[in-house]
């Protein structure tokens, strides 16, 4: 398990506060032994005036992997066999998406603000159209969320952002081993009474390195060579296993 610390000082411009930003590490390397990572997010609200009266400050943190179209298929049992029947293409779905909040999401964020900033998991997924024959298109998006949630690719971590004295906040976001390469957008929202009063966005670069990078590049740039090499390895492995069993019998 690797750790990544992200230090942020986020401000509310309307109250004359400034922003200071620093990253201790802005990339994650995926190697053959990569088994996941954990992002540590620390932040502070720098103020020149006392904490304002009224609703307490709440914090929402989101981390989103690269978004790509996804084909979601439904299977039905026909003559005793499970077969693909209907299919809907989701226009845009993040490969990974996590939301961490300082309270219950419904309490710290209004629906109108969620619609505006696309913070919750369903809002982060864009599905515009579906074939006319599909009468329950939202069910396909719900299925995608359920499947990726079970794989820890989609996460809702309520009450997981600690806020001290309405000034300091911290949270941990766990990244699974099955990460997609690309820029992971990290957003921090400060809210009062469910309304976003300030936000900040940065990114974390996730890349394969070493042997993982070489094999990935080879499979994309030289697919014939990659296929022949894979075939040779399979043949050699089969021969080695046969030879080992022969020795054991003797």
- Domain with 60 in it: what CATH number? 2.60.40.10
Q: Count of domains in the chain?
A: 2
> Looking at the structure, do residues 230 and 177 belong to the same domain, yes or no?
no
Pick the closest to residue 87 from 99, 71, 101 (CA basis). Answer: 71
> Looking at the structure, do residues 198 and 223 belong to the same domain, yes or no?
no
Strand ranges of the sheet holding 182-192, from the earlier edge strand across to the other edge: 27-30, 195-208, 182-192, 57-64, 97-101, 154-157
pTM comes to 0.74
Q: What is the mean pLDDT of the chain?
A: 76
> Looking at the structure, do residues 37 and 25 belong to the same domain, yes or no?
yes
**What mean pLDDT is predicted for residues 146-173?**
89
> Looking at the structure, do residues 123 and 222 belong to the same domain, yes or no?
no
> Looking at the structure, do residues 220 and 167 belong to the same domain, yes or no?
no
Range of the domain at 223: 209-250
| DSSP conformational letter for 172 | E
- Domain membership of residue 36 (yes or no) is yes
- Measured distance CA(112)–CA(120) in Å, rounded: 12
pLDDT value, residue 110: 95
Instruction: Say whether pLDDT at 215 is over 60.
Output: no
Q: Directed axis angle between helix 210-221 and helix 223-249, to 10°?
A: 120
pLDDT value, residue 22: 39
> Looking at the structure, do residues 44 and 60 belong to the same domain, yes or no?
yes
> Looking at the structure, do residues 185 and 248 belong to the same domain, yes or no?
no
CA angle 17, 23, 24 (to 5 degrees): 135
pLDDT value, residue 24: 44
Domain termination residue (choose one: 205, 222, 239): 205
Instruction: Say whether pLDDT at 210 is over 60.
Output: no
- Domain membership of residue 5 (yes or no) is no
Report the largest interatomic distance among the alpha carbons of the chain, rounded to a whole angstrom.
Answer: 84
- Highest-confidence range of 52-56, 134-138, 185-189, 232-236, by mean pLDDT? 185-189
Instruction: Say whether pLDDT at 196 is over 70.
Output: yes
- Domain membership of residue 9 (yes or no) is no
Residue 117 DSSP SS3: helix
């Amino acid at each position: 398990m690797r750790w990544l610390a992200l230090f942020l000082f986020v401000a509310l411009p309307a109250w004359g506060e400034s922003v200071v930003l620093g990253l201790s590490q802005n990339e994650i390397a995926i190697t053959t032994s990569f088994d996941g990572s954990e992002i540590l997010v620390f932040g502070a609200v720098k103020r020149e005036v006392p904490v304002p009266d009224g609703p307490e400050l709440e914090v929402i943190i989101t981390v989103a992997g690269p978004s790509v179209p996804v084909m979601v298929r439904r299977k039905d049992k026909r003559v005793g066999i499970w077969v693909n029947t209907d299919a809907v293409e989701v226009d845009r779905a993040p490969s990974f998406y996590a939301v961490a909040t300082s309270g219950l999401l419904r309490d710290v964020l209004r629906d109108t603000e969620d619609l505006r900033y696309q913070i919750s998991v369903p809002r982060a997924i864009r599905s515009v159209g579906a074939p006319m024959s599909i009468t329950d298109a939202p069910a396909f998006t719900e299925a995608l969320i359920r499947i990726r949630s079970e794989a820890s690719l989609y996460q809702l971590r309520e009450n997981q952002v600690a806020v001290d004295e309405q000034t300091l906040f911290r949270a941990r976001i766990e990244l699974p081993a099955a990460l997609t390469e690309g820029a992971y957008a990290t957003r921090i929202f400060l809210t009062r009474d469910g309304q976003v009063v300030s936000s900040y966005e940065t990114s974390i670069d996730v890349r394969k390195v070493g042997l993982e990078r070489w094999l990935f590049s080879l499979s994309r740039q030289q697919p014939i060579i990659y296929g022949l090499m894979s075939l040779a390895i399979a043949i050699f492995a089969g021969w080695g296993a046969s030879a080992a069993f022969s020795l054991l019998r003797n």
